[in-house]
Amino acid sequence: MRRKYFGTDGIRGKVGDAPITPEFMLRLGYAAGKVLTRTGKGAERPAVLIGKDTRISGYMLESALEAGLAAAGVDVLLVGPMPTPGVAYLTRALRLSAGIVISASHNPYDDNGIKFFCGAGAKLPDKIETAIEAELARPLQCKKSAQLGKARRIEDAVGRYIEFCKSTFPTHLDLKGLSLVVDSAHGACYHIAAHVFHELGADVAEIGNKPDGYNINAACGATHPQALQEAVKKQRADLGIALDGDGDRLVMVDAGGRTYDGDQLLYVVASHRQRRSRLKGGVVGTLMTNLGTEHALARLKIPFARARVGDRYVLEMLQAKGWDLGGENSGHIICLDRHTTGDGIISALQVLGALRDGRTTLAKAAAAVKLYPQVLVNVRTERRFDFSADLKVKQAVAKAEAELDGSGRVLLRASGTEPVIRVMVEGKSRSAVERWAEAIAAVVRKAAA
């Protein structure tokens, strides 16, 4: 069955437009309740946890999901604003049937979406999402009154998650004497991130920690690190940490204002673990991972594999290979020996731990990664367009690859979260990369019109 609603990271869209409507969320809650709790695990009544980021629409969608789950006979635990990885942790720690996150991650405030976690704290496999879609096609049949679900709020959820994050940092290290600026993107980490780093000893200044329902990811956070760069320089801080709206992405800034993306930070953690004989197997990246990172890992003889774009696919490949470490250049980093999913705060702690243990700076630790120029152009489409079958698009790609002559890559892919086709060109020559990215994008734009 072809999935109609689920993309690479749950369901996402513009609030008020299908499927991000109260009516659909009611049905989704009911369908998810039916599918996710079929096994029951011997419990009297299944229970699902709901967390959300700070978007104004979260209140509306939360209420609709809660009603749908209750109609399916599922108890609901509410935690309010909570990072996506925090929901994953609490779902597992509380032995629940599933966890739901209401968030559109790095998107603007007028988008929203839904992500699911199974009871083990991992994102749902495709087959479960497909089963939920199949259930959506069936009529909603409310349970009898005696079988309806109840709802209650978990008052200590924030404290539980803060302690969990701290527990992933090496016990023989601390952050004393380190000055940090933490940018929470006015998102789900606004009341959590700074506490974690401060309680480990760091001197912490905060930005992006005053959400109003509308300013999530607005000129701040991991997708807009310029505000953090300025704040680090102004505060004369040692490092800056930028998270995104739902707290699963990480970008860092050094004292000089230089930014470090997920590829570079992944290398820092991997190389340190190898030196301490704690790297299990190799590293999983994605089709978007910079060639410079792959080459730097190869020089250390660290095995590297590419998964499809999306942290869920990185996770699936890690599990298949029995490895612990993987990530994306966007800032999703997965450390399976620390958490079941990508976590911006925990990823930052792994980087900081590597720097403290190695008594080095971020610049020195990441110096071996010489990133190739990489240009990404998003081509918005109003209809489904199979670019892989279009002759002119294939010819444009072939011409670019011939000129790059093995010293670069061309990658076209449809976004799983937006109605766009992403055109990526990577190579040693920035001018050639920019020229071919724009040229291919123009062909795609014309063909998709």
DSSP 191-249: TTHHHHHHHTT-EEEEES----SS-TTTT-STT-THHHHHHHHHHT-SEEEEE-TTS--
Other C-beta atoms closer than 10 Å to the C-beta of 214 total 13
Rounded to 5°, angle at Cα 158 from 154 and 163:
120
Quote the strand ranges of 16-133, DSSP E.
47-52, 75-81, 98-102, 111-118
- Please tell me the total number of residues recorded for the chain in this structure: 449
Catalytic residue among 105, 271, 330, 347: 105
**Cβ–Cβ under 8 Å, residues 440 and 399:** no
Q: Give the chain's end-to-end CA distance (angstroms, integer).
A: 28
Tokens 């083990």 appear where?
A: 120
DSSP 292-316: HHHHHHHHTT--EEEE-SSHHHHHH
397 closest CA partner among 366, 439, 445: 439
Mark whether 167 is an active-site residue.
Answer: no
53 closest CA partner among 180, 165, 192: 192
Tokens 């909570």 appear where?
A: 82
Helical pair 344-358 and 157-167, crossing angle rounded to 10 deg: 30
For residue 289, CA distances in Å to 72, 252, 255, 321 come to 42, 17, 25, 18
The β-bridge partners of 409 are: 426
Q: Report the C-alpha gap between 28 and 136 in whole angstroms.
A: 7
Tokens 């449809």 appear where?
A: 414
Rounded to 5°, angle at Cα 221 from 220 and 224:
60
**Omega into 19 within 30° of 0, i.e. cis?**
yes
Active site residues: 105
